[in-house]
Amino acid sequence: MNSGRNNRVVVAGAGVGGLAAAALLARKGFDVTVIERQRYPGGCAATFSRGGYRFDAGATVGCGFQNAGPLDLLGCDLGLSWPALRSPVAWEYVSGDISLPLSSSKRTLLERFPRSLPFWEDQERLASILWKLSGDILPWPPAGAVDAGRLLGKAVSSPSSVVHLLRFLNGTALQWLASYGLDRESAFVRFIDAQLLISVQTTAAYASAVNAAIALDLPSKGTCRLTGGIGSVAEELAASVERSGGRVVYGLEATALEVAAKKVRAVVCGNGESVPADVVIANLTPESLERLPGAMVSPRSVIPGAGRPCAEWSAFVLYLGVREEVFSRCADHLQIVRSEGALGEGRSIFVSVSPSDDARRAPEGFRAVTVSTHTRPAPWFDALNRGKDEYKALKRKYTRTVLALLGERFGGLEENIGLVAAGTPVTWERYTGRWRGYVGGYPQTSLFRVRGPLTAHSNLFMVGDSVFPGQSLPGVVTGARRVVDLVERVCGQ
């Protein structure tokens, strides 16, 4: 059990990916130190306090907690039970006159789009193969003979699954819809586009069919609400690291790596301290890691010839304190989408309302509401470069746009708002250290255009949503398991 005790692992960043790797390694006996620049853990999946509220910063929906899902398995391995309660509805999709509560039952969805039944049957079959394949460590992209052997083992053990998977390997989600004649059903394509944008970060015309299959499965697998907010996940993981003898140090930023003979020897911190390491795990985006003096990311992390996956989106987020009567009888989460126009930039929003019985989240009679929309970072940084007034004007414009769409669904909204705060790509960069505020990882357009955890240093690994399988809590936890395996291999365990 304590085989790793002499190996010092330093994890830069206490996001869910970094903490999952740290907690598993600490549990296995490694000497783990997590360095986090903020005063609290969670990054994009943090919950922060402001004006008597606890707001979910970015992520709001607890995915992957279903039986044998990535978070369920992680909880079992760490001996912890999540403060998670199953939600009857994952989220409600609202667009024009369409209103679809998404849950494990597809009844309403099929009533609205009856011709889509064979597509959903196919999607469920593919998703169940993928959940099975990713159940333990998913060695993709392979990092040498051991991984290649494991992939071959998976293929040999279920050849029919692999044959089925091959059918979809190079196709897009839109081609898949077309094979069922659904590509011309514009309201259905818009629905699928909206689901894919919030999960695989691109729409059906570009999304890989394989990634789409898993993403479209999330509502039917069941989602959870986390008591205290989504940040409870990171808080539980940080506590688990400490229970296993590790350290989580807040308010400390990794500012450089000390490298000798191509190996990282220590992580240099903002306070001048140098933390010696046998292995370093960077819970940073590749763009942020590349900017740390000493670190070299490429070329081992990408599949040669497949192109370098790059993030494209950031988020504009409103944090609202609202009187609770505005939200009577609505689902905890709603996706509101205009019937026309490109998605994102205030034309599609994801709304999460804190549960009325979670007293930690809001003052009595109020709810903590997080509303997000995809936005491109460049205009925000351009505006900032032109001066604070331009940046503030852009922020006001987006605030008005988002409140207008929300107000169409919830009458009397504006008169009942007690607190408004806005987060932009500039805020995301400042709070999470993610260069240019890129969040959500890379658009999942191909299984081959992905990034693995390897870097140019044999003892430096990346974890988080820039690394396969990408964004979401289940995504980064699955990626963290892979990193734990690689760390054990490099440490000769």
Ligand X SMILES: Cc1cc2nc3c(=O)[nH]c(=O)nc-3n(C[C@H](O)[C@H](O)[C@H](O)COP(=O)(O)OP(=O)(O)OC[C@H]3O[C@@H](n4cnc5c(N)ncnc54)[C@H](O)[C@@H]3O)c2cc1C
Residues in touch with ligand X (CB under 6 A): 12-18, 35-38, 43-45, 58-61, 63, 253-254, 283-284, 288, 315, 317, 372, 432-434, 439-440, 464-465, 471-473, 476
Cis bond before residue 41 (omega within 30° of 0):
no
Q: In terms of DSSP bridges, do strands 224-226 and 84-86 run parallel, antiparallel, or are they unpaired? A: antiparallel
Q: In terms of DSSP bridges, do strands 279-282 and 8-12 run parallel, antiparallel, or are they unpaired? A: parallel
Q: Least Å distance between CB 347 and ligand X?
A: 16
CB 196 within 8 A of CB 215: yes
User: Dihedrals φ, ψ of 21, to 5°?
Assistant: -65, -45
Residue placing its CB nearer to ligand X in the complex, 70 or 321: 70
Residue placing its CB nearer to ligand X in the complex, 70 or 141: 70
Q: Tell me the CA end-to-end span of the chain in Å, nearest whole number.
A: 11
Q: Least Å distance between CB 107 and ligand X?
A: 23
Residue placing its CB nearer to ligand X in the complex, 375 or 416: 375
Rg (CA), the chain: 22
Q: Least Å distance between CB 113 and ligand X?
A: 24
Q: Least Å distance between CB 418 and ligand X?
A: 22
Q: Least Å distance between CB 158 and ligand X?
A: 27
Instruction: Render 268-328 in DSSP notation, one character per residue.
Output: EETTS-EEE-SEEEE-S-HHHHHTSTT----STTB-TTS-------EEEEEEEEEEGGGGT
Closest CA to 57 of 234, 219, 224, 220: 234
Residue placing its CB nearer to ligand X in the complex, 109 or 281: 281
Residue placing its CB nearer to ligand X in the complex, 59 or 129: 59
Residue placing its CB nearer to ligand X in the complex, 174 or 371: 371
Residue 112 Cα to chain centre, angstroms: 29
Residue placing its CB nearer to ligand X in the complex, 85 or 151: 85
Q: Least Å distance between CB 16 and ligand X?
A: 5
Q: Least Å distance between CB 191 and ligand X?
A: 18
Closest CA to 53 of 324, 316, 248: 324
